[in-house]
A and B are shown apart, each in its own frame.
With several copies, the nearest count.
Chain A
Amino acid sequence: MTVVPYAQLRERTRQRDCSLHEKVISLEEAANIVNDGDHVAVGGCTVSRTPIAMIWALVRARKQGLTLSRSITSNEGDIAYVSGISDHIMTSWFSQGIVWGISKMMRAYTETGRARFEEWSHMAMGLRYRAGAMGVPFMPMRAMMGSDIVGLVDNAQEMECPFTGERLLLVPALNPDVALIHVQRCDRYGNAQIDGLQFMDLDIAMAANKVILTTERIVSNEQIRRAPDHTKIPFFAVEAVVEAPYGCAPHECYGTYEPFFEHMDMYAQISATKGEEGVKEYLDEFYYGPKNWTEYLERVGLQEMLDATRRGRSVYDD
């Protein structure tokens, strides 16, 4: 993944419609925004605020050749490999989550060379998005030097600081073609407010060429304006808004629902015991099978949803 030249970055932005206009569409329509071969940045971190509904839509739309990037990748990375939408994931850590052990799918695909897991340090991922958000081709940093990680990544350069003579590593900007970000609320224009943990989503949104927002709910522009210092993503960075309640299920959405742990345990069990075939059955049942997102949630189950919601809201109980 090479750095997008500045002329191309500017031209892409110039071609977009940045006017204040309504942009609410369906999950299916939003999937059309993503082209085969795109670099797609995934918001959230591990099992938190993962844009599962949009990934679900990309899998159903049978996208191909996507490069995915993310702060830390959980089992949506498994889904991406096994469904065939991606064979290249750039991230700092990749497995379902510490409590579930090493991802069997990540191992199965990367150890056989069927897919690539390009490993960067967590801060490097963050600074690459930040450089992209700032419109510069790199960020200087002081980690990753001396390790073996730097030898396996696509592109990073050491330099001597012209001010201090110190050694620095320059990590190249990431400007994803599309960013998928799930938020607690936004308006019909795409002004998004994110509660609690922000992860790398602000930088990802500003770095990307197009942002697809999924949101627990769409609120009025007046509500957004009552707390403008809580708005985290400006409308003009956003290409599409999709209302997708429980759009992170079975992952968590801060203050709204915690992870659906039984479902996550079930997935871990399937992938560990039945391997790739098990995950394909999981995809049939939960990704390809449901008529729509609501039916997906029905299959995940109301009891789990209520339980995750009770736990999720508890952060505001104190």
Chain B
Amino acid sequence: MTTDLANRSTDNSPTQRDYTASQLLAVSASRVLEEGQIVFAGIGITLLAATLAQRTHAPGLTILFEGGVIGPFIVPGELPPSTNEQRCTRRANMLVPITDVLLLLQRGYVDIGFMGGAQIDRYGNLNSSFIGDPENPKTRLPGTGGGNDIASLSEIIVAMKHQKRRFVEKVDFVTSPGFLSGGSSRADSGLPFGGVKKVVTDLAILGFDEKTRQMRVDALQPGVTAEEVQDNTAFDLIVPEGVKVAPPPTEKELAILSDLDPERLYTA
């Protein structure tokens, strides 16, 4: 349950290319994954990203589902609707209790966790608990699930839609720790490992400055300007000079996504 409800990118890409924003997110996220990694996947776009990586550059990548599933393989057209139903166990290598699959994070077996969130701030902290004052919230969100565990114990990739109301100066509540208040504050809080590796949006691929841990534009999505990214972000982004443009999704990548999700339930 690490994909946030509010994070349904189903509208069209702002660039009006031959792919949707959701496909772009899936492709961009898949490219961050590396061969041999063990990846905690959510449903939808993040699962598509992990499976796409398996079918392109990372055939030995392993997927974990929070419901207690190790090494499932996705049957095209049968993407599971959650991470803890029997459909998640298709062609799995092993089933374990939930606590034990989460303990793989603590034991150091998980390379990447996929996360979403209603809000993210300049230090990559994620909020999926409260909009407004937690004591008297405007909206009570569904909560962390395993998100806090994943973000505390492994590197994470955040995949979400790039909107000013989501990219906020300071999250209303730190559900899942990013780099907290930057610098060494994360390690100082008892979290010596992990952190936000990349934030993948429909506008950019973002990383974090190694020292200050502030969010930085690593690459622009095709057809997007640095100004557009900043305009859709409520805090000042670091934009290196001459920031590159990410290569657009290839035909092969889009074909695989179409094969996996032929009815475009998750990539419309």
| A→B interface (CB under 8 Å) | 6-7, 9-10, 13-14, 17-21, 45-48, 71-72, 91-95, 97-99, 101-103, 106-107, 110-111, 117, 119, 121-124, 126-127, 129-130, 133-136, 141-149, 152, 158, 166-169, 189, 191, 196-203, 206, 221, 224-225, 228-229, 231-232, 234-237, 252, 254-255, 258-259, 312, 315, 318
In the bound assembly, the distance between CA atoms of A93 and B175 in angstroms comes to 12
The 9 nearest A-B residue pairs measured at CB: A126-B99, A19-B60, A19-B36, A146-B189, A167-B190, A143-B152, A231-B94, A135-B106, A93-B145
Set B62, B71, B177: member contacting A146, Cβ < 8 A: B177
- The answer to whether A158 touches B190 (Cβ under 8 A) is yes
Set B60, B107, B140, B177: member contacting A135, Cβ < 8 A: B107
Contacts of A148 in B (CB 8 A): 129, 134, 173-175
**B93 an interface residue at 8 Å Cβ cutoff?**
yes
> A126-B102, A143-B149 are contacts. A231–B93 as well, Cβ < 8 Å?
yes
- 27 residue pairs A–B, Cβ–Cβ below 8 Å: A14-B108, A21-B60, A47-B85, A72-B1, A91-B143, A92-B143, A93-B143, A95-B5, A97-B82, A98-B43, A99-B82, A102-B6, A111-B137, A123-B99, A126-B97, A143-B152, A148-B173, A149-B129, A152-B134, A196-B86, A200-B97, A225-B91, A228-B94, A229-B95, A234-B93, A234-B94, A236-B109
**B153 an interface residue at 8 Å Cβ cutoff?**
yes
In the bound assembly, the distance between CA atoms of A102 and B145 in angstroms comes to 14
Set A123, A221, A312: member contacting B86, Cβ < 8 A: A312
In the bound assembly, the distance between CA atoms of A110 and B193 in angstroms comes to 34
Known: A106-B140, A119-B144. 9 other contacts (CB 8 A): A10-B193, A18-B111, A92-B144, A121-B147, A122-B98, A145-B152, A198-B98, A225-B93, A234-B71
Contacts of B189 in A (CB 8 A): 145-146, 167
**B221 an interface residue at 8 Å Cβ cutoff?**
no
In the bound assembly, the distance between CA atoms of A313 and B62 in angstroms comes to 26
Contacts of A122 in B (CB 8 A): 1, 66, 98, 102, 144-146, 148-149
Contacts of A258 in B (CB 8 A): 85-87
- The answer to whether A146 touches B190 (Cβ under 8 A) is yes
In the bound assembly, the distance between CA atoms of A17 and B111 in angstroms comes to 12
Contacts of A202 in B (CB 8 A): 97
- The answer to whether B142 touches A197 (Cβ under 8 A) is no
Least CB distance, A58 to chain B, in whole angstroms: 23
- The answer to whether B5 touches A72 (Cβ under 8 A) is no
**B243 an interface residue at 8 Å Cβ cutoff?**
no
Contacts of B175 in A (CB 8 A): 147-149
Least CB distance, B77 to chain A, in whole angstroms: 14
Set B88, B103, B192: member contacting A7, Cβ < 8 A: B192
Contacts of A196 in B (CB 8 A): 86, 89, 95
Least CB distance, A106 to chain B, in whole angstroms: 6
Set A17, A119, A130, A235: member contacting B143, Cβ < 8 A: A119
Set B6, B97, B143: member contacting A117, Cβ < 8 A: B143
Least CB distance, B69 to chain A, in whole angstroms: 8
In the bound assembly, the distance between CA atoms of A233 and B154 in angstroms comes to 21
In the bound assembly, the distance between CA atoms of A106 and B130 in angstroms comes to 12
